[in-house]
Amino acid sequence: MEVTPFGLKGPYADKRAYDLVTQGLTGILSRRRMPDGTPIEAPVWVADCSAPMLIAYGVALALLARERTGRGQKVETSLLAAAIAMQSVEMVRGVEEVNPPTSYAVQAMFAPYRCRDGEWLVLVVANNEQWTRMCKVLGIAHVAADPAFSTALARSERSSELASILREVLASKPRAKWLELLQAEEVPCAPVLDREEVFNHAQVLENELIVEVDHPRAGRLRLMGVPVRLSETPGALGLPAPAFDQHTDEVLGEVGYTADEVRALREKGIVGKGGQLCASG
């Protein structure tokens, strides 16, 4: 298994990188800009967080191939590959594209709006059925009937005008009321939560995406739960994060060191809490 910054070939193959560097090379950094043109980075580590998912997927594929062929193989990906893969929709373009949008996702029907209480909600209206239901809820049925907004393409092309209408309407009621009305009509929407609010939202907690565990030193902690579930072996958080040097002996034993050799390494200060070559699990 191998994860590199930019892949094994090409002019950047031997260059170093972090997530933000790959955001620059893959166009993510250029998608949003400040008024003076300064690029704005993505607010999450796009490549750093998605590359492990690609590796897990690759390992699963390799295991399946081994079951069928009896042969193992190397699994390889890169931060560059992950950043490109995360833009799979955004990287679609026409053969002769003229004036492409900054982002296909940045338009009135895929946008956040401020409500009367100052809180924000986000709407994603992807088809005509949802469009009609949304207009009904918002009390703007006449807009739904307007031929100028009759298709998704038309709504995209007149996004600025449509956004102005929606901003005015959604500012007339508090967020909780709009969410109640929109969700009752199955219009895709959600509150825009602050980071801390996510930890306490009922949907997150009831699906055990944030769970509580006991740590021997830190006490009761809230950690990320298991994001992928299998019906027969769903998985669960087991041991807390290990303390420094907690598993040094076990790790060294697994790679062939005897107990006497590990003891000697500790006595010389090579491994352990003060060692330079400590192998923590």
Whether 251 is in a domain gets the answer yes
**Residue 80 and residue 6 in one domain:** yes
Q: pLDDT class for 236, splitting at 50, 70, 90?
A: confident
**Residue 79 and residue 146 in one domain:** no
> Per-residue pLDDT for 207 more than 80?
yes
Q: What is the pLDDT of residue 97?
A: 59
**Residue 205 and residue 219 in one domain:** yes
Q: What is the pLDDT of residue 278?
A: 44
Whether 141 is in a domain gets the answer yes
- Lowest mean pLDDT: which of 64-73, 103-112, 121-130, 141-150? 103-112
Query: How far apart are alpha carbons 130 and 153 in whole angstroms?
Result: 15
> Per-residue pLDDT for 213 more than 90?
no
User: Average pLDDT for residues 126-131, to the nearest whole number?
Assistant: 94
Whether 121 is in a domain gets the answer yes
Q: pLDDT class for 94, splitting at 50, 70, 90?
A: low
**Residue 215 and residue 175 in one domain:** no
**Residue 51 and residue 71 in one domain:** yes
Q: What is the pLDDT of residue 229?
A: 86
CA angle 26, 20, 34 (to 5 degrees): 85
**Residue 264 and residue 254 in one domain:** yes
Q: What is the CA radius of gyration of the chain?
A: 26
Q: What is the pLDDT of residue 6?
A: 94
Query: How far apart are alpha carbons 79 and 16 in whole angstroms?
Result: 11
**Residue 208 and residue 142 in one domain:** no
Query: How far apart are alpha carbons 122 and 126 in whole angstroms?
Result: 13
Q: pLDDT class for 56, splitting at 50, 70, 90?
A: very high
Query: How far apart are alpha carbons 58 and 187 in whole angstroms?
Result: 36
What's the chain's average pLDDT? 89
Could you list the beta-strand ranges (E) of the chain.
Answer: 2-4, 76-78, 110-114, 120-124, 189-191, 210-215, 219-224
Query: How far apart are alpha carbons 141 and 126 in whole angstroms?
Result: 17
CATH number at residue 141: 3.30.1540.10
Whether 91 is in a domain gets the answer no
Instruction: Find out whether 252 and 279 touch, Cβ atoms under 8 Å.
Output: yes
> Per-residue pLDDT for 244 more than 60?
yes
User: Average pLDDT for residues 5-12, to the nearest whole number?
Assistant: 94
Whether 127 is in a domain gets the answer yes
Whether 92 is in a domain gets the answer no
Tell me which amino acid residue 100 is: P
What is the number of domains present in the chain?
4
What is the four-CA torsion angle of 202, 206, 210, 211, rounded to 10 degrees? 130
Last residue within a domain, chosen from 158, 191, 224: 191
Fill in the DSSP letter of residue 227.
S
> Per-residue pLDDT for 99 more than 70?
no
User: Average pLDDT for residues 135-151, to the nearest whole number?
Assistant: 94
Q: What is the pLDDT of residue 279?
A: 42
Half-sphere exposure of 89 (CA within 13 A, CB side): 6
Full domain range(s) for residue 142:
110-191
Whether 96 is in a domain gets the answer no
Q: What is the pLDDT of residue 228?
A: 86
Whether 271 is in a domain gets the answer yes
